[in-house]
């Protein structure tokens, strides 16, 4: 499929190509959309949807292709974003862990061809609004030369200078920052804006202004690609400093047992009260997403615009009793929304057969825009656009989604992390979830999580590996192909070769 980018001019003139809007809140699990409890959707999944109020997403879902199984392979901010932008797994995107100043090992590669680079070369205007969190923070504050943009040590937030923006010609973004009602952004020209508003509402204002072309920010003779990265829902979820009062009021009086409805939720955890703020954030995001849709309608852009709603990763919110909201193979952590609307081209439906991975999103969107011939050769994701469009020429489906978790490896004399350690790998298939964690010193198996997601949809029983050896062997065999496609260190270094049947020729080190 893949031919080097920028060689072939495609037949379709740029002005006729669809616009693309990609909206992704940060920590929104697939379960947190109200339509999963509605007729037409409820029978497609084997979990109870959250009792969350999302009227706009519910209506949008009936106009869209809705996946039941879009998996965030490495369910953490930066690694997912690296895969989303480059179409490559974290080994090759450059983003091998969450980006922070003392972890230079994780940084979006400047020489990777991102989705925005391809679309820009095909004539698109490209806009990025909201959280990026894919670059290693460096001391490059435009207002304070030689300093980081924040004084916290190590710095997490970051400024992305123009030469690192991967062809996004409109910029209103920041690295990572969690004060939801006092966000800040750097614009196209590097000017900082400090705002007193709930960040999704402010970012939606900016997105609407971009759509209306206020200030002549785009060339209306060209198609546009706009990414809108809302931070909420994202911790903290502690008070109405984190969400809007009107949304909190919808959940304030509900007993926790009515909010955390799945059997795997532990409502006695101190975190459980956060559910009210979490769902309030989701409802607020739903309303803001609706404002974008309304603007498309009022401008007559809806028919020629592909609109995607997804997320970075999920949020466990007391499921399995774990404190960590993400970075785990549990369903609430890995399974994210994936709704795609393209009127007249993608028939509204629920797709239960496709397990989509983070790196598949970039080539699939390029395929939908008629740019399959420009998918960069080094892309590892698969172009499923034919499946969405009904043209039949889709990439073959994967057996499942790779699960990945990295930890810090070696440090230099200053304490900077200069390599990563591939702590855990696993696979999520249409029936099972398995994750194998290795010991850093010995490289041997340290622990495992293994669930039969059909018999036990809430992942309440971690099956001992020796109880179902044939199934474990089959899942390990399926992992080989995924690890090879991901150019993964487990494949290159034959990690857990006593369990995972790597081909004997698969040696790298």
The Cα–Cα gap between 440 and 405 comes to 13
Annotate 393-407 with three-state secondary structure: CCCCCCCCEEEEEEE
133: left (phi over 0), alpha (psi -120 to 50) or beta: left
Q: What share of the chain is helix, strand, coil (3-state, %, to 5)?
A: 30, 20, 55
Rounded to a whole number of angstroms, the minimum distance from the CB of residue 333 to Ca ion is: 11
Note whether 336 and 29 are within 8 A (CB).
yes
Shortest-Cβ-distance residue relative to Ca ion: 77
Note whether 225 and 126 are within 8 A (CB).
yes
Query: What single-letter DSSP state applies at residue 430?
Result: S
CA torsion sign for 236, 240, 242, 248 is positive
Rounded to a whole number of angstroms, the minimum distance from the CB of residue 176 to Ca ion is: 8
Could you tell me where the beta strands, DSSP code E, fall in 348-484? 349-357, 401-408, 420-428, 432-438, 445-452
Nearer to Ca ion, 180 or 374 (CB): 180
Nearer to Ca ion, 203 or 312 (CB): 312
Note whether 335 and 329 are within 8 A (CB).
no
Rounded to a whole number of angstroms, the minimum distance from the CB of residue 27 to Ca ion is: 6
Rounded to a whole number of angstroms, the minimum distance from the CB of residue 155 to Ca ion is: 17
Q: How many CB atoms lie within 10 A of CB 258?
A: 12
Nearer to Ca ion, 93 or 125 (CB): 93
Rounded to a whole number of angstroms, the minimum distance from the CB of residue 324 to Ca ion is: 12
Alpha helices in 235-308 (DSSP H): 245-248, 256-259, 274-298
Rounded to a whole number of angstroms, the minimum distance from the CB of residue 373 to Ca ion is: 33
Rounded to a whole number of angstroms, the minimum distance from the CB of residue 133 to Ca ion is: 7
The Cα–Cα gap between 337 and 334 comes to 10
Rounded to a whole number of angstroms, the minimum distance from the CB of residue 479 to Ca ion is: 25
Note whether 36 and 54 are within 8 A (CB).
no
Number of H helices, E strands in the chain: 13, 15
**Site residues, Ca ion (CB under 5 A):** 26, 77, 312
Nearest to 170 by CA among 223, 114, 210, 140: 210
Q: Which helix (H) or strand (E) element contains residue 225? A: strand 224-229
Nearer to Ca ion, 19 or 78 (CB): 78
Rounded to a whole number of angstroms, the minimum distance from the CB of residue 371 to Ca ion is: 28
State both tokens at 166. 């991967």
Rounded to a whole number of angstroms, the minimum distance from the CB of residue 134 to Ca ion is: 11
The Cα–Cα gap between 295 and 373 comes to 32
Q: How many CB atoms lie within 10 A of CB 424?
A: 22
The Cα–Cα gap between 148 and 174 comes to 13
Nearer to Ca ion, 295 or 310 (CB): 310
Q: Which helix (H) or strand (E) element contains residue 60? A: helix 55-61
Rounded to a whole number of angstroms, the minimum distance from the CB of residue 18 to Ca ion is: 28
Nearer to Ca ion, 77 or 394 (CB): 77
Query: What single-letter DSSP state applies at residue 240?
Result: T
Rounded to a whole number of angstroms, the minimum distance from the CB of residue 74 to Ca ion is: 11
The Cα–Cα gap between 470 and 485 comes to 24
Nearer to Ca ion, 26 or 360 (CB): 26
For residue 127, what are the β-bridge partners? Answer: 170, 226
Note whether 296 and 304 are within 8 A (CB).
no
Nearer to Ca ion, 131 or 218 (CB): 131
Q: Is 335 helix (H, G, I), strand (E, B) or coil?
A: strand
């Amino acid at each position: 499929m893949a031919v080097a980018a920028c060689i072939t001019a495609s037949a379709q003139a740029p002005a006729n190509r669809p616009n693309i809007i990609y909206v992704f809140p940060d920590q929104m699990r697939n379960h947190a959309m109200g339509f999963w409890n509605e007729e037409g959707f409820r029978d497609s999944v084997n979990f109870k949807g959250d009792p969350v109020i999302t009227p706009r997403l519910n209506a949008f879902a009936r106009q869209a292709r809705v996946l039941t199984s879009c998996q965030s392979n490495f369910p953490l901010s930066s690694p997912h974003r690296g895969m989303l932008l480059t179409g490559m797994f974290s080994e090759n995107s450059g983003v091998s862990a969450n980006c922070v100043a003392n972890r230079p090992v994780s940084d979006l590669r400047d020489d990777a061809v991102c989705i925005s680079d391809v679309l820009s070369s095909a004539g698109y205007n490209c806009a990025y609004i909201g959280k990026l969190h894919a670059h290693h923070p460096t001391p490059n504050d435009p207002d304070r030369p030689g300093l980081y943009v924040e004084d916290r040590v190590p710095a997490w937030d970051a400024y992305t200078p123009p030469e690192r923006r991967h062809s996004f010609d409109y910029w209103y973004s920041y690295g990572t920052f969690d004060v939801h009602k006092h966000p800040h952004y750097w614009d196209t020209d590097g000017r900082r804006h400090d705002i007193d508003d709930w960040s999704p509402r402010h970012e939606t204002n900016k997105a609407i202004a971009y759509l209306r072309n206020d200030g002549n920010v785009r060339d209306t003779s060209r198609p546009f690609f706009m990414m809108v990265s809302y931070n909420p829902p994202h911790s903290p979820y502690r008070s109405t400093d984190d969400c809007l009062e009107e949304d909190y009021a919808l959940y304030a009086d509900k007993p926790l047992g009515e909010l955390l409805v799945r059997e795997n939720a532990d409502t006695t955890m101190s975190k459980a009260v956060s559910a009210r703020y979490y769902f309030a954030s989701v409802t607020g995001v739903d309303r803001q997403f609706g404002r974008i849709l309304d603007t498309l309608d009022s401008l007559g852009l809806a028919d020629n615009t592909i609109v995607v709603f997804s997320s970075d990763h999920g949020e466990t919110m007391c499921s399995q009793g774990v404190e960590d909201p993400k970075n785990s193979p549990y369903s609430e952590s890995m399974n994210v929304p994936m709704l795609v609307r393209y009127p007249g081209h993608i028939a509204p439906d629920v797709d239960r057969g496709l397990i989509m991975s983070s790196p598949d999103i970039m080539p699939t969107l390029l395929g939908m825009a008629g740019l399959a011939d420009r998918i960069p050769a080094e892309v590892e994701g698969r172009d499923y656009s034919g499946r969405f469009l009904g043209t039949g020429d889709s990439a073959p489906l994967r057996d499942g989604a790779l699960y990945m978790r990295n930890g810090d490896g070696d440090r230099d004399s200053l304490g900077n992390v200069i390599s990563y350690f591939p702590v855990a790998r696993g696979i999520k298939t249409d029936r099972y979830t398995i994750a194998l964690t290795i010991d850093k010193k010995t490289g041997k198996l340290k622990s495992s999580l293994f669930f039969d997601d059909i018999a036990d949809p809430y992942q309440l029983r971690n099956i001992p590996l020796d109880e179902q050896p044939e199934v474990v062997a089959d899942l390990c065999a399926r992992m080989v192909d995924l690890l090879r496609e991901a150019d993964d260190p487990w494949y290159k270094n034959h990690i857990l070769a006593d369990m995972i049947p790597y081909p004997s020729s698969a040696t790298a080190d």
